[in-house]
Homo-oligomer: A and B are copies of this chain.
Amino acid sequence: MSLKTFLIGQPIDSVKEKRERLNKITGLAVFSSDAISSVAYATEEMLIPLAMLGLMAVHFSIQISAAIIALIVIVALSYTQTIRAYPNGGGSYIVARENLGEKTGLVAAAALMIDYVLTVIVSISAGVAAITSAFPSLSLHTVLLCLLSLLIIIVVNLRGLRESGAIFSGPVYVFIGSLLLLVAVGAYKFHGGMVKPQNVFVAGALDAVPTFIILRAFASGCTALTGIEAVANGVKAFQAPESRNAAITVTWMAAILGVLFIGISYDAYVYGILPKDGETVVSQLASAVFGIGPIYYVIQFATFFILVLAANTAFADFPRLSSILAADSFFPRQLASLGDKLVFSNGIILLGVFSAVLLVVFEGDTHLMIPLYTIGVFIAFTLSQAGMVVHWFKKREKWWIFSMTMNGVGAIATFLVFLVVSYSKFVLGAWIALAAVPAIIFFMHKIHTHYKSISEQLAPRELSSASEYAHHSVIIPIGGVNKAVINSIRYAKAISNDVTAIYVCLDTSKATITKELWDKFGMKVPLLVLDSPYRSIIEPVVDYIEEVRKDYKNGVITVILPELVPSRWWEHLLHNQTALLLKGILLFKKGVVSTSVPYQFE
């Protein structure tokens, strides 16, 4: 137990736990790391398809950025309406299920799962890219650094990290501050003629740039929107008036996100920065503006930390969604809330394992993951906004037409982006996310069907099923005579008058010793010695049990297995393996119950 305690800490007492209420400053820190951190990679992702076509194409980056800013405004305004309608938290799954029905809710749930896993891996790999940009020799160990960061996040979450303002505020505000400084000083130095652009992007003939590439750049840049819904999920965490504070926080978040995104895109444009292998666009910009010095390193580390916090948010959200789904019987029940830490641990470990596998498969390369990321996010956006449209139409509260319009515009805009992303990024990996959605739904459906069929099969009907057994026999397979075995005989005699011990003889001299000891300690229980021509221990025991089963058709048999309970957890691994095997076999035999009688050491 001590290793587990050391790694993940004492269990949390759910009764004592109190949630800290967040003000707007701390609320922004806690809920915006996911959204704001995406400026670390969004500009770069937008530039990559353009730069492949050449300098003329890059010219369009400013227009594309402007379109994305417009989208940010639309989605943020749309979410302020969700906050008003769902003061207890309006996650996409809940909003979609309540307003668009269970099936649509499952689509949203599947999209969110993909979203969470990709938030983890995109954020971690982009964070590690910030570090390897500053220290290029580390780039050989990208996957290792990604896995280490992931491991730290998993352990911290298993220990039960609270999303406290104190922890989040530092990195988030340092990031916001240092990037605002970068954007402002960058623009100032350029207009003061203090720097020379590395490339000059001039507009070429419009028809030289295929629309498809423009769309692809736009789709990639839309990663800036990921995480914008976080506040809507956590309205309850704000100080009163919750909805109002949350709505103001969303507005601020969108404003900061927009300024940083357009700022970085603009500076990268005027400085003539192109995406390149081994160094991020933000790192190139920071070194062009400030040189490699203290401010540069602050920016790189702040980027790493805010991205780690972004990955961390998924570790809070995924177990929460899992527990809601489990309560609705769409996910294994051990992920449903039992009120203690244990349950969320399952969700954390599940997300951790998925993320680790994908980090290895994608080799920690952000660019490869981005096409998958945007799909999940925009499906969830669309369904959530569409759900809100239905919500307003049904409720018809004050201002409902205004709110419905806002959400309607949001739904249409995000749906169009979903189409653009699916189309322009299909072969780059969007197809994986598109295929994963039905696969996850199928999986959830299977689980749901199983739980339903089980509960139907278990419903008590005929009174005749509650009849008494005509006989009870006890069988104790033994491998020798020791205190654990004696303990089992005592138990056997307490539960039945028909007890037989059986010993499988592999070695006649050992059998003789066992028989002698049995005469002394066996409490007059008969001992049956069985031969085993094939040296199997399991087979003769199972054969004997079958015989007894035939003799007493309406009886029940208990097979008693002595079980050693060592004092240290790892010692468990060293015992009781044959018993486990036998129990596994007996599990499927009707009228046979196997019981381990524990023997605790002093």
Contact = CB atoms under 8 A, between A and B. Distances in A.
Interface of A: 14-15, 140-141, 143-144, 147, 332-334, 338-340, 342, 360-361, 363, 447, 450-451, 454-455, 457-460, 463, 465-469, 472, 481-487, 489-491, 493-496, 517, 520-523, 534-537, 556, 558, 564-566, 571, 573-575, 577-578, 581, 587-588, 590, 593, 595-602
Given A447-B574, A469-B490, 12 more contacts: A143-B363, A144-B363, A333-B575, A333-B577, A342-B581, A454-B564, A472-B495, A494-B556, A495-B558, A587-B598, A588-B598, A595-B595
A468 B484 contact: no
A534 B333 contact: no
Contact of A577 (B334, B360, B574, B595): B334
Query: Which 6 pairs show the lowest CB-CB distances between chains A and B?
Result: A458-B482, A334-B577, A495-B495, A469-B494, A472-B494, A595-B595
A325 B365 CA distance: 43
Contacts of A339: 534-536
A355 to B, nearest CB: 15
Q: Which of A15, A463, A577 has the most CB of B within 10 A?
A: A577
Contact of A523 (B450, B468, B481, B489): B468
List the number of copies, as a whole number.
2
22 contacts: A141-B363, A143-B360, A332-B573, A334-B577, A338-B578, A450-B574, A457-B483, A458-B482, A460-B481, A460-B482, A466-B489, A466-B490, A468-B523, A469-B491, A469-B493, A469-B494, A472-B494, A472-B495, A491-B593, A558-B595, A565-B587, A593-B598
Contacts of A457: 483, 601-602
A450 B360 contact: no
Nearest to A460: B521
A334 B489 CA distance: 25
Given A458-B482, A486-B460, A566-B450, A144 B361 contact: yes
A486 B466 contact: yes
Contact of A465 (B360, B486, B537): B486
A517 B460 contact: yes
Contacts of A523: 466, 468
B593 A600 contact: no
A17 to B, nearest CB: 12
Q: Which of A534, A535, A537, A598 has the most CB of B within 10 A?
A: A598
A489 B467 CA distance: 9
